Structures are given as structure tokens and as C-alpha cells.
Chain A
């Protein structure tokens, strides 16, 4: 009982997700800044932002739907946090059963869907456009992302356990681009394209509600990078886990630094007609046992 509580609340659960998720964000900002010949903010800046937001007031516009404004961040945050239960981070597995991959997929979609709903709930044109983009992007990246998880899941009994899967390069590619899409990182930062639609779904958000979304995003980093490190790079112990996670983070930073933003139509085509079929190739290979 005590062990379970510790795992849920401290490591790899809430506290670790909170600290490491924001730390990932901070590292990403700092490293990207150095790559761009800037100094960048200190790596604890996301924490400061988060606590500052908590101390601000919630502002609600006239056109918004009040209860959704509060509900969406909470569900988005809770569903993404739940995922960590099924991921054996550094050997600390909490719940594990055959088919947990599907639960993970479901909770990850929940998080994005409620972000989109939040954008519609604000009644702001930028929020609406952002939400439409968020959903379009969800529909685009979900196919290759799910195929890649199922490919590896087929070999592990649809259970998230350490598995080294680089002999499925396309599945890994599909997973990586799926992560970029899920986290709205360049070149897929389309739903919150600052220069076009201000902040997308989050345009009208402020205060603790925005902080909740920020937290959900940070935990999304932690969860998705952990899945990558465990499920695709086979991290069984804490050292391997740390190395793999940081390597994945670095790859995400490289993507962030070198690519310009795609248009939503480009992203849709890229996911469905290039990355999707490639991922299917690996799925077929896994099904027929050719690897």
C-alpha cells in the first residue's frame, strides 16, 4: 500500500512528473537558446512561470463557457498524468497488464481532445482556429503514432515493458513525429502558432487554469519521453533510462531548432501519406515475423 502511494505520488508519479517535466522544458529552452546564439532563460524558469501563474486571477471572458474552462485543464492534466501508471519508469512499474498500450493511447488522446475543447469553450476566434488545428493535427498524427505503438505492442503482448526496437526504424520515426505532434513542437507547432493565431486554444486562458495546461504539457513531456525511453529504447534500469531520455530530449531539441513551421495541410499529408505507410511497413514486418 505505502509503496503504491509512493509510486503514484512521488516517483514516477506526480512529484517526479512535475519536477522532471518542467526540467525538461527548461533544458529544452536553454539548449535551444544556445544553439540559436542566445543565452536563454535559466533552466528553472518554467517553475517560476508556473508558480507565478498560480498566483494570478482567473479571467473569464463574456463569450466563454465557464464550467468547461475549469474542467478542461483538469481533465487534460489528469489524463496525461494517469498514463505514467502504466509505464515502468526505470524499473518502477505500478500497474501492468496485457493491453495497457491501448489505455495509454486512449488517455493521451483525451488530453489533446480536452485541450481542443478548451479552445472552443473560450469563444475566441483565435481559440476556435487553434482548436480546429489541434483536432486536425490529432487526426493526422494519431494514425502513425498508434501504428507504431501497436507494432511494438504486438511483440510485448500489448504491455509496456522495456523493449529495444531500433530494428523497427520506421515505427520509431512514427513515434518520434507523433511525439512532436502531441507536444506541438516545431515543425508541428501549428495549433499554437504564435505568429498566426496568437496562442491557439490557450489565447484566452490566464492564471491557475493556464498553469494547469502548462503542467499538463510538462507532464506530457515526461510521459512521452519515458515511453520512448522504455518502450522503444529498452531502458530497464535508472542509468539507461536517464541516458535514453536525455538523448530523446536532445533529438526533440534538434527538431525544434532546425525546422520551420509546417502548414496544417502539409502536416496532414506528411503524417498520412509518408509517415503512416512507413509505419505500416514495420507493422507488417512485426506481424509476419520478419525482423
Chain B
């Protein structure tokens, strides 16, 4: 039997965002895959260059709907290092608090989708019901369920009071219990395990070679977590990276559940040891940074390492380059899909927790000649020069 082409996306029920995976299928077995990006490019990197530093915070918030707090946190961290200021301790703790809450809700979303992809709607609905506990906490702390806009240059926008602390502690206790329950289901339920164990395997050697980030590499047994560098308040919170073994879909899921538990522990710890100080420095609305200064800022987003490269152009950035975690994780997709069946494709794709809209790059297609062209940094710089004359 010869193989045929099965299009997976850009419109497909298993996909939340448009991406196109061309699957070469022989019967029910995948013999090859090709990823086609470019369906939701937003041109955000370019828009940074025409905004003041402070306005960029709003823009970076909107790169991702799920991990927006990490983008602002990373962006602000970069600017703060360019300005040479250090934010107050309390602001560091609050940033960690919001980050970890967001990590829990992001992981629960990803795991709920894994449950849905294997055709178990009940587990999906249960996980999403419990995810509401975190969403409520986020609303309580920041006023918004998503897009918190909590980080500002020089600190955070809101403080945490005692009443909120008590509510958080209560909800987290409930969540902790639910995490144990779900971990048990993922590990021991026969019909779930049947679909996710020994699927989408990524060996330690291959993981080192292809170098994904976040839970995807940690599940293969490699200890790589930016939080271990101890940025913000992670040093004081005695953070320990969670790693797994085996690197199949099940292990990636379990690493995420364990990370949720670790986040809960850190939130408890952070609330207990919250230092008393200001929550934000007084930073002028129009920031001027010496031209040509550059910095790299890293944070650990739920999906892995998030990097901002920034170069100053005075009161605006000259260039902001964002490397989102999914961009780095896509390289493993072909490796972990090949050899498995059509039923495993959605599960594997969900297990790497992709976020296409953060990642997308622009491809220009000439409709008449059908030629594709990737827009490079060089072209973008030229565009800038053309515009400025």
C-alpha cells in the first residue's frame, strides 16, 4: 500500500489555533510530517519598534492569551536591566505569585486538552471545572481572569492583602487534592494509560540533540529550568526543577501535574514569607535609555524558556526579538510523531502544549507563481530603512 497525504489543519477540530501539518500516512501509520506555519502572524516584533518602552508592556501582554504574565514579566525585566534598576522585593514575590498561578492554569488547560484529544470528555470537563478555582484566584488578585496587566516597569500594579491570602490558601488546598486525583487517573486508569503511555517517545539523547524546552525536555530526564537560575524570588523559594523519565506523552503529562504541585508549594511559601516593602518603583512614563544598549531577558514560561532580546533605540526599542518556547519545541514534532498512528497525532501534539500564535513567523507566498519566501531579519531591517527614508 502506498502512502498518501493527510492534511492536519489549518482547520481541524483538534487544533485550537491554525497550523498546518502535512502528514504522510501509510495505512494508519505516520511515515513523515511537515510543519507549515504562517497562519496567524501578527507582526508584533515590528510593532514594538514604533512604541515607547512603557507602551510595549501592553503589546507584550497580548502576544499570548495563556501566558501573558510571563511575556510582560520578561519584557519588564529586560527594560529594568537596561535601565539598571532593581525592583522591590515585594514586587518580585508578587510577580512569582502571579506567574505560578498562571502556570497552574496553563498546565491544567494543556492537560485538559490532552484528556479531550484521547476522547475522554469527562476528564476534560473535570479538569476545566477545577481550573476555574485558579481563574477565580487570578481575578481576585488582578481583577482579570486573563490578560492581568499586573506587571509594570519597575514593579507590579496591585498589592496582595491578608484577606486575599486566606482565600488563596483555601483554594490551593482544594487544588492540591485534585492534582493527586488527576495524577492517579493519568497514571493508573487503564483506558487513559492505553492511549498515552509509550506514545510520542523522545529519548534523552534525541532530546539533547533537538533541544526542546520546558516540560518537554524535563520529561526526557534533562534538568533544564530557567527558574533554577534564581531570577525574581525563586532563589528564596527553594525552587527545585521537576524532571521525569522516558519522555512519552504520559511522562510529559505527569511532569506537568508535578509542576502544578510544586507551584502550589511555592505559592504557599511565597505567601508566608512575603516581604514588606513598596510594590513598584517610581518610573517616569517616558523612559530614555542610551541608544545601542542591549540585553537578553529570560523567564521560565509554562511551556519553557522564554527569551526577549532587546536593543535600545532611545525612547523606543530599536529591536525586540522574542523567542517563544513553542518555537524551540517544534523541532521535536516530526521526531515524536513518526512511526505512530493517526489516532496518536492529536494526543502527541497536545502533549507538547504548543502555542502557535506566540510563535508564528511570516511566510510570503506569491499567489501567481506559488513561490514561498520567509521574511528574514535582514528584510525587516530594510523595511525600517525604507520607511525612514
Contacts and interface: CB of A to CB of B under 8 A. Distances in A.
A205 B116 CA distance: 24
A37 interface: yes
B13 A198 contact: yes
B120 A259 contact: yes
B345 interface: yes
A264 B341 CA distance: 10
Contacts of B119: 186-187, 189, 193, 195, 260-261
Contact of B342 (A37, A129, A258, A266): A129
Contact of B125 (A37, A186, A258): A37
Interface in B1-42: 4-7, 12-14, 25, 28
B346 A37 contact: no
Contacts of B122: 35-36, 257-258
A262 interface: yes
Contacts of A266: 194
Contact of A263 (B12, B116, B192, B195): B195
A194 B116 CA distance: 10
A167 interface: no
A186 B115 CA distance: 14
Interface residues of A, number: 28
Interface string A40-62: 00000000000000000000000
B214 to A, nearest CB: 23
B191 interface: yes
Contacts of B12: 198
B191 A260 contact: yes
Contacts of A38: 125
B7 A195 contact: no
Contacts of B5: 125
Interface string B182-223: 000000010110110000000000000000000000000000
B4 A260 contact: no
B129 A196 contact: no
A35 B192 CA distance: 18
Interface in A104-142: 125-126, 129
Interface string A147-187: 00000000000000000000000000000000000000011
B117 interface: yes
15 contacts: A36-B125, A37-B125, A129-B342, A189-B119, A193-B343, A195-B117, A195-B346, A196-B342, A196-B346, A257-B122, A260-B120, A260-B123, A260-B189, A261-B119, A261-B195
Given A257-B122, A261-B118, 6 more contacts: A32-B121, A35-B122, A37-B126, A195-B119, A261-B195, A264-B343
CB-based closest 4 A-B pairs: A261-B119, A260-B120, A195-B14, A36-B125
